[in-house]
Structures are given as C-alpha cells and as structure tokens.
Amino acid sequence: TAAQAETIAMAAVRQKGATAVEAYLVERLDAGNPYFLVLFGKPGSAGAIVAVDALDGTIASSAQLERVESPWFLSKARAVELAGGSRLLQARLVWAPSRATRSPFYPLWEITCESGRVYVDRDGKVSQTLMPAGPG
C-alpha cells in the first residue's frame, strides 16, 4: 500500500531530515513490477525521492533533489484535459523507458478514452505512442 511504501522510504531517508511525504503508484509497461514513488521535502527546498517496489517492498532506487517541485506531476484532471479525448475510461501513472521519459522518477499519465490512448508527461506534452528510448 502507499502507507507501507511511505514507511519503507522514510526509513531510507530519515537521517536526511525529510518530513513531507507524497506517494504515487506507478504501473510499469515493460513487464517490471509496479512501484510507489515517495517524495520527501517541502516545495522549493531540498528533498529526496524514493522508488519502492509495490510487490516486495524493496527500495528500487532513490535520489537527492536540489529542489522539490510541487506538484511532482500534473494533476490527473489536467492530464485528462490535455488529452482531449472523449469519455474517460482510465487514467493512471505508467513508466517504461522511452523517448518521452528515460527515468522511472518521471512517469507519464496514460489516459485512455473511448477515442483512444495518449500519454501526458509532467510538462503537459501529449504523445500518441511511446517511442523506444534509443541512443542519445
């Protein structure tokens, strides 16, 4: 659960003085385990982000942040609005290495509507497909 992921992640960064917590479930599109992204720190200050495997509770990766941006992602409502599709069927955070995002710390909103599926990144850019990451 998100609460368990927060507890696991807190133990990893407690000594760094992290206090504020947000947790997001991210589904993997590349056959990896889903994971929780847990964000620590106050907006505008230093912080940390920790990826916790949603199945076994291990810490997959972590990073120190020079500056916490809030919100870390676009809101679901804004991503749906930018997608511009007809009748929403599903909206979820997803990740697979692609040209749209190479880091699991920056998942995409996958918006599925009756009219099709699109991906929206944290800056609001909409992609119809996820191109493989490739070189460079």
pLDDT in tens, 33-43: 999 999 888 77
* Residues 6 or more apart whose Cβ sits within 8 Å of residue 119: 94, 100, 108, 109, 110, 111, 126, 127, 128, 129, 130
User: Shortest CA distance to 60 belongs to which of 6, 106, 104?
Assistant: 104
Percent pLDDT > 90 in the chain is 42
Please tell me whether the peptide bond between 71 and the residue prior to it is cis, using omega within 30 degrees of 0.
yes
pLDDT digits (tens, 9 = 90+) for 59-101: 999 988 888 876 777 888 899 999 887 788 999 999 999 988 8
pTM of the model: 0.87
Q: Average pLDDT for residues 109-127, to the nearest whole number?
A: 92
Residue type for position 130: L
pLDDT over 90 at 51, yes or no: yes
What pLDDT, on the 0 to 100 scale, is given for residue 13? 79
CB 55 within 8 A of CB 96: no
- Residue 2 pLDDT class (50, 70, 90 cuts): confident
